[in-house]
Amino acid sequence: MMEAMDVRAIVDQHAPRLKKAIGIERWDVRITVERCPEQVKGQCEADPRYMIAEIQIDPEHAEDEDDVVKTLRHEMLHVLVSQFEVYRAAVHHLVDSEDALNAIDEVWTFATENVVHNIETALDQSSYNLDYMST
């Protein structure tokens, strides 16, 4: 657990370069530091049509600076892959069954988290990321 103002300072320090490193600098990414309704370190909602994203970082689940930066990067990667939200919205529009939508959303979440995790792994293994993290 960290103080919200300390998390805020870390977010403000790292967000611009992280946005650039991930390639989402044209997005309007609004980041708040506050409790998340679920037991998560952070969450992200992104609308690719308007290129607006809202990220929440939960200070209760933040361990240290590195942890906050990794959480912020994770949530920003959700912005990067949010283009597929257009497909999800179309599916929701076309499918009537509540059960089917729940099943589709479960698969959706599984696939999205896996894609984000795979990008994180790739970034962790690249010298590019190491350069970023050390500056």
Binding residues for Zn ion, rule: CB under 5 A, are 113
CB of 8 to Zn ion, least distance (A): 21
Minimum CB distance to Zn ion smaller for 87 or for 110:
110
Element (H, E) at 93: helix 85-94
Return d(Cα 97, Cα 117) in angstroms, integer.
30
CB of 92 to Zn ion, least distance (A): 20
CB of 106 to Zn ion, least distance (A): 14
Give residue number: closest CB to Zn ion.
113
User: Tokens representing 61?
Assistant: 């689940």
Minimum CB distance to Zn ion smaller for 9 or for 15:
15
111: left (phi over 0), alpha (psi -120 to 50) or beta: alpha
Residue 22: C-alpha distances to residues 73, 76, 79, 105, 116 (Å)? 8, 8, 9, 25, 12
User: Taking a C-beta distance cutoff of 8 angstroms, is the pair 33, 8 a contact?
Assistant: yes
CB of 15 to Zn ion, least distance (A): 17
Minimum CB distance to Zn ion smaller for 33 or for 56:
56
Minimum CB distance to Zn ion smaller for 9 or for 43:
43
